[in-house]
Structure 1
Amino acid sequence: MHDVFINRNAFRFGCRIKYQDFDMMGMIVPIMTCFVTLNTTLTIIKTSCYSWCVGYKLPTSPPQDELVIGGGNIHHNRRCSGVSRKITSVDGVLVLSWYPPGLADDNGEPAEDLVPAVLDAAYRHNLKVAFHIQPYRGRNDQTLHENIKYIIDRYGDHGAFYKFTSSTGKNLPLFYIYDSYLTPPESWSEFLTPFGSHSVRGSAYDSMFIALIVEERHKHDILAGGFDGMYTYFASNGFSFGSSHHNWKAIKAFCDGNNLLFIPSVGPGYTDTSIRPWNNHNTRNRVNGRYYETALQAALNVRPEVVTITSFNEWHEGTQIERAMPKKTVTRVYLDYQPHGPEHYLELTRSWAEQFKKEKQQWLM
């Protein structure tokens, strides 16, 4: 499997913003922060807010093996209890940003009770579900071990539970550990290396664990900690060492030399000055799609197994690629893609998914 991911909640800079209700066309499905993964070529990582309802609109006749999601409703409440029957009909993987029961993001609500509904909906539509473990207060190697046991015990037998086939042929659950650098590698190694004091390796809970690389030194910490790979997450080229395109070749070489999975992240642009006026220096202009395509090409240049896209519908940070139509409220004007059509970035994603598949076939020859 060779995937591209789409991240929604890509940039946080130490704070999160509560969403205001806005309405576009779409069906409603309750989800938590999540990614989406395609089984053939692209993994779309889409993050949304932790107990809010995100709407999807199924475009007309999506091609087989391509996940195309458009439209959207976001409501700052939990009223959306019904799962849409029109999420998508193609194979893929939702990667939910996850907190333990009773815990939540500072600006959200506990949402563990929504996971069964997401799994059931995913199963009905040939989707899989994986988990993105958030940095809740008190998270460490011991609590994460308990989290993994909880998730696998509770959901591991569900037909929609995602497992990743590694280069060695192992079929294991895959977990993303956001802000993994907050815990020292010495602690992670107790959990993730074969001889750790409470090692998960070789047990019924063994999995693929992917850490976040922000600074250059993190690659050594990730290796020492016993992780199986690293992802860059942030979509702004130059924001961090990990998110800088010119560093990807070196990071990929390091990963290849140490049997680690490297997952670069790309995005269509970035602008969050409406909510963080001081952050203008991290703005990245979309240039009518050229920024997105440049990032995608940079990712494919390093021949990754997985690529992540940030984001699907992070409107207030200007990284969304979902279907966009002109929209404004009293306080905000939402981005659209004029002079291109409302599905411009979905069309680009489709095109690059096809390109990724073709190039991968060439890599294997």
Structure 2
Amino acid sequence: MPPTPTSSPTKVAPPTPSPTLAATPTTAPLPTVTPAPATAATPGVNHLGTEKVVLADYVLWYDPGVFDGRQTWDVPAAGPYNSDDYGVIQRHVAQARQACLDGFAVHWYGPTDRRTTSNFQQLLQASAGTGLRHAAVILSNVLPGASEQTIVDAIRYVIATWSQHSNYLRLGSRPVLVFTDMPRPWGSDAAALAGWTRIRAATDPEHNTIWLAEGLVTTYNPLFDGLYVYRIDHRDYPESWLKQPRWAAALRAVEQQGNLPLGGLYFADTIAPGFDDTRTVSVPGDVRADAPHFARDRQNGAYYAATFAVTAQTGGDLLFVKSFNEWIEGTEIEPGTTYGDLYLKLTCQYANIYRGR
């Protein structure tokens, strides 16, 4: 979406995956929808002995004009909203609980971005007493003029300001930090790995926090403590979610090398109910990495079911839902005018199945 004086730029998208698919896709059965309980089931335990949590990506820089029908394929059932509105945040917290989430992965542009910083603080406040815990997705590296120092400043801010909050996500005793678009701002994996190595040494050399890298390969592990993939479908490489077992196996191979600060590495599965960013072609101010625009029909939940089915093959440690409210890319589970709360209910089913494995 185009930035305004009061809004932050559009979320970054990850690189396109390689064209080789891991398996021949199968047709998923249409899911059966049952009423969702008000709260999530008790998390299970992953292979590192910490909670098996389910998070949904959360965008907190919307203005009502985003929902005028020109930039998104659908609009919120509750109507256009401003992300700064505390009442809206409270509604989202209630819907997160309806979807049986453990929390949000909150897209945040760093401490110099007052809007996303203030709204993250509001989210923590609104979550008091709910059991929800949220992790910062640090996006300082994708902004114009980003430097290693701005990334260092963002990490230090999270650690000093939010990481010990009762509604900030910790696995075991370690707060979780999520990163994306790893080569930026350096431009290459080699330069980026060197840069991230310096950043880790400057902010958390003892791995007292858990860092999750985004990507299709293990270039940044074990410097980072885990791996996830943001976009699991692409125009030119459809059904890329089928590759998740391969990505997980590659991370486990790194893990077998041993001598890891946490004793192992986290693999996060990713699921999505659909995709459609075709209304944002050539939108000024878009800071996402270049990728072809495309759309995938939700098929009344069958697409979502297909992306979830493959997670049974990965041995994953936590689950990302793409997304709670990324309306620009059409991955939202937030209730919309065309599908109501269907995807909150489906997410609750999948979250509880995932935690129970």
Q: Give the Cα separation in 2 of the matches to 1:94 and 1:248.
A: 21
Structure 2 counterpart SS, 1:75: coil
1:32-86 Cα offsets, whole Å, 9 max, x none, are xxxxx98726523132242658xxxxxxxxxxxxxxxx954443574x2557656
Tell me the alpha carbon deviations over residues 185-235 of structure 1, each in whole angstroms, 9 at most, x when there is no partner.
Answer: 01111233xxx4x362227xx31111110xx5xx242127x1111111114
Alpha-carbon distance change, 237 to 295 in structure 1, aligned in 2, over 3 angstroms:
farther
Deviation string, structure 1 residues 138-160 (Cα, Å, up to 9, x no partner):
44444323322222222233222
Q: Provide the rounded CA distance (Å) in 1 between the counterparts of 2:178 and 2:41.
A: 16
Structure 2 residue 98 is matched with structure 1 residue 96: no
CA-to-partner distance for each residue in 1:322-351, whole Å, 9 max, x for gaps? Answer: 3233xxxxxxxxxx13xxxx2222222222
Compared CA separation, residues 207 and 276, structure 1 to 2 (3 A):
same
For 1:181 and 1:208, the matched residues in 2 are separated by: 19
Distance 1:236-1:277 versus aligned 2 partners, 3 A rule = farther
* Equivalent residue letter for 1:245: W
Question: How big is the shift at 1:133?
Answer: 0.3
Task: State how far apart, in whole Å, the 2-side matches of 1:110 and 1:244 are.
Answer: 34
Rounded to whole Å, the distance in 2 between the matches of 1:296 and 1:207 is 28
Cα 1:354–1:199, aligned 2, differ >3 Å: closer, same or farther?
Answer: closer
Q: 2:154 aligns with which of 147, 154, 170?
A: 147
Question: Could you tell me which of 55, 58, 68 is aligned with 1:44?
Answer: 55
Which of 230, 236, 239 is the equivalent residue of 2:233? 236
CA contact (8 A) 1:71 1:324 kept: yes
**In the TM superposition, what is the alpha-carbon distance from 1:91 to its structure 2 partner?**
7.3
2:301: which partner in 1? 289
2:205 to 198, 201, 204: 201
Q: 2:311 aligns with which of 293, 299, 309?
A: 299
TM-score normalized by the length of structure 1: 0.64
Unaligned runs of 5+ residues in structure 2 are: 1-9, 16-39, 44-51, 65-75, 187-191, 256-264, 284-290
Which residue does 1:191 correspond to in 2?
199
Residue 125 of structure 2 corresponds to 120
| CA distance, structure 2, for counterparts of residue 144 and residue 75 of structure 1 | 30
Deviation at 1:299? 2.1
SS where residue 97 of structure 1 aligns? strand
CA distance in 1, matches of 2:317, 2:281: 34
SS of structure 1 residue aligned to 2:136 = strand
CA contact (8 A) 2:59 2:326 kept: yes
More strand by share: 1
CA distance in 1, matches of 2:150, 2:123: 24
1:111 matched to 2:116? The reply is yes
Unaligned runs of 5+ in 1: 1-8, 15-36, 54-69, 104-108, 166-170, 326-335, 361-365
Q: Which amino acid aligns with 2:110?
A: P
Alpha-carbon distance between aligned partners in 2 of 1:129 and 1:121, rounded to the nearest angstrom: 12
Note closer, same or farther for the CA distance 1:159–1:298 as it changes in structure 2 (3 Å cut): same
Give me the whole-angstrom Cα distance separating, in 2, the residues matched to 1:140 and 1:277.
Answer: 26
Rounded to whole Å, the distance in 2 between the matches of 1:319 and 1:116 is: 24
CA distance in 1, matches of 2:182, 2:270: 16
